[in-house]
Amino acid sequence: MKETTPAAMPPCFDRWCKRFDDVWTHQAQKREFRNYLGGLIGESGRKNISQMASDAVGVTYHRLHHFLTEAPWSAEKVNERRLQVMNQCSQTKISRGFSLIVDDSGHRKSGNFTAGVGRQYIGEIGKTDNGIVVVTTHLYDGVKSLPLDIELYQHASSLAEGKKSPEFQKKPELALALIDRSLNRGYRPGIVLIDAGYGNNTSFLLELEKRKLKYLGGLAKNRRIIIAQSGKGQEEIRLDNLAKSLPAQAFTPIKLNLEKPKNVWVATTEVELSRLEGKRTIAIVMNASTFDSSSDIDYFMTNVDSSIATAEWIITTYSQRNWVEVFYREAKGWLGLKEYQVRDSRSLMRHFILVFCAYTFILWHTLTGGLRRRWANKPLNTFPEAIEAFRTAMSFRFIEWLNHNQNVFFAYKASLGFVWG
């Protein structure tokens, strides 16, 4: 049932929202925060402001729009409070030694008036197109997957002065700023997981090492490395050429337990790279037992000690990056991360952080068991199952409200030009 009303939201929703009350400066902000989150979590087909407002009795478009675009509040403070809320409960607090996943994600956006829009690579569709890209940091600690921070990537073509604009920052620069936010909070990761877009950037890796962070990242096949040749000194070689030269017995078969289990063959060796002092462990991962028969080959590098960075450790640890892809899929598909009716960067960031809050609300109640005890008779092992349990609660409460407020609902339908009867 897509219709709802703030007056019929389950009590657990308001109790959770009250944890944010002192962040807001006006009563109207407290009200619209609840209305916006309720719209994101609810069953509206689309999550833009007009759709969420039209599907909720007592919620108006102009109030929601004002809250998102004009009201004086800080998205950064709201995000900090969200993380504090998670840290206040033993079942949800952030564990030590977690994996910090750095990633970027894009979605299509037509026109050229929205902040950050430009012709750039969009991972969602696997090609270059007009769209928006965000850089995010994400936590995984073996129990929970939690988004930490997000920043809008301002493509050079979206800025009046292009790359000369003071607002222009490359993705690795944005990523480092987000990592520093986590460190400043006292969240020190056990490992930073990055894809080849960041792993190929030596300057980025040097900055991680300055912060004394361990990392595991992807590399491009044309990355040049330095290997020791017995009796011949050192040789510089491309990664793909190194992979071709390795015998079949150098690769160890490993089974990956992902959403879809698969077998991979992995070879590891220690190498040197220009501008990086000392040795690093690299891994060559194939989807077949030989180079020539493989259709998918990946290359990874880590600064973790080689005694720890075994083939199995590298594959198992890097597979945790899959959790950020799961989050993007859920946030875009269920909570409208890419659906908004605003154009300026501040309003976009506010929308993104409110989506983070909606996601965290469902996660918090899943981990603490409230949804399972009250609104489900089966384990809630996935985000879709958990949000459906909460939507069941919303529907049940709305039907109860409707039985006592039929005239209000009739007037709401009439205001939309329909007759209820």
Shared-domain flag, residues 183 and 148: yes
Q: Specify the pLDDT at position 32.
A: 97
Identify the pLDDT of residue 421. Answer: 66
368-410 per-position pLDDT tens digit? 988 888 888 888 989 999 999 999 999 999 999 989 998 888 8
Distance of alpha carbon 117 from alpha carbon 103, whole angstroms: 18
Mean pLDDT of all residues in the chain?
A: 92
Residue 342, pLDDT above cutoff 70: yes
Question: DSSP characters for 79-100?
Answer: HHHHHHHHHTSTTTSPPTT-EE
| Final residue belonging to a domain, choices 307, 326, 345 | 326
According to the model, what pLDDT value does residue 126 have? 84
What pLDDT score does 417 carry?
Answer: 85
270 is in which domain, residue-wise?
Answer: 86-326
* Mean pLDDT along residues 63-72: 96
Residues 166 and 301 in one domain: yes
Span 65-91, average pLDDT: 95
Residue 165's pLDDT is 87
Query: What would the pLDDT profile of 304-315 be if each residue is shown by its tens digit?
Result: 999 999 999 999
Residue 22 has pLDDT above 90, yes or no: yes
pLDDT in tens, 392-401: 999 999 999 9
Both 193 and 299 in one domain: the answer is yes
Using alpha carbons, list the distances in angstroms from residue 336 to 69, 98, 133, 317. Answer: 17, 27, 15, 29
Q: Is residue 99 part of a domain?
A: yes
Tell me how far the alpha carbon of residue 216 is from its chain's centroid: 18
Sign of CA dihedral 83, 87, 93, 95: positive
pLDDT tens readout for residues 119-160: 998 888 888 899 999 999 999 999 999 999 999 999 888 888
Measured from the Cβ of residue 227, the count of other Cβ atoms closer than 10 Å reads 15
Q: Count the helices and strands in the chain (H runs, E runs).
A: 15, 12
At residue 388, the pLDDT reads 94
Distance CA 291, CA 143 (A): 36
Q: What band does 230 get if pLDDT is binned at 50, 70 and 90?
A: low
Rounded average pLDDT over 18-44: 95
Cα atoms in the Cβ-side hemisphere of radius 13 Å centred on 16 = 25
Give the pLDDT confidence score for residue 416 in this predicted structure.
79
What is the CATH number for 293? 3.90.350.10
Amino acid at 195: D
Q: At 264, give phi and psi (nearest 5°).
A: -135, 160
Same domain, 257 and 182: yes
Kindly state the percentage of the chain with pLDDT values over 90.
71
pLDDT band of residue 45 (cuts 50, 70, 90) is confident
**386 and 263 in a common domain:** no
Answer yes or no: is 353 within a domain: no
- Residue 258 and residue 111 share a domain: yes
Residue from 203, 154, 206, 148 nearest 178 by CA: 148
Q: Which helix (H) or strand (E) holds 69?
A: helix 61-69
Q: How many domains, in total, are found in the chain?
A: 2
Contacts of 88 (CB under 8 A, 6+ apart): none
Residue 339 located in a structural domain: no
* Within a domain: 78: no
- Quick one: pLDDT band at residue 1, thresholds 50, 70, 90? low
Name, in order, each residue with C-beta under 8 angstroms of 325's C-beta and a sequence gap of 6 or more. none
Residues 225-229: contacts with CB within 8 Å, 24+ apart?
225/271, 225/272, 225/273, 225/282, 226/271, 226/272, 226/273, 226/274, 227/269, 227/271, 227/272
Same domain, residue pair 14 and 160: no
Q: Which of 275, 296, 326 is the last residue of a domain?
A: 326
Of the chain, the percentage scoring pLDDT greater than 70 comes to: 98
Q: For residues 241 and 244, give the distance between their C-alpha atoms in angstroms, rounded to a whole number.
A: 5
- Residue 58, φ and ψ in degrees, nearest 5: 90, 0
Judgement on whether residues 218 and 282 belong to the same structural domain of the protein = yes
22 assigned to some structural domain? yes
User: Is the domain of 322 the same as that of 272?
Assistant: yes
Instruction: Report which listed range, 23-27, 125-129, 287-291, is most confident.
Output: 23-27
Handedness of CA 9, 387, 393, 380 (dihedral sign): negative
Entry pTM: 0.94
235-259 as b/e: b if 16+ CB within 10 A: eebebbebbeeeeeeebeebebeee
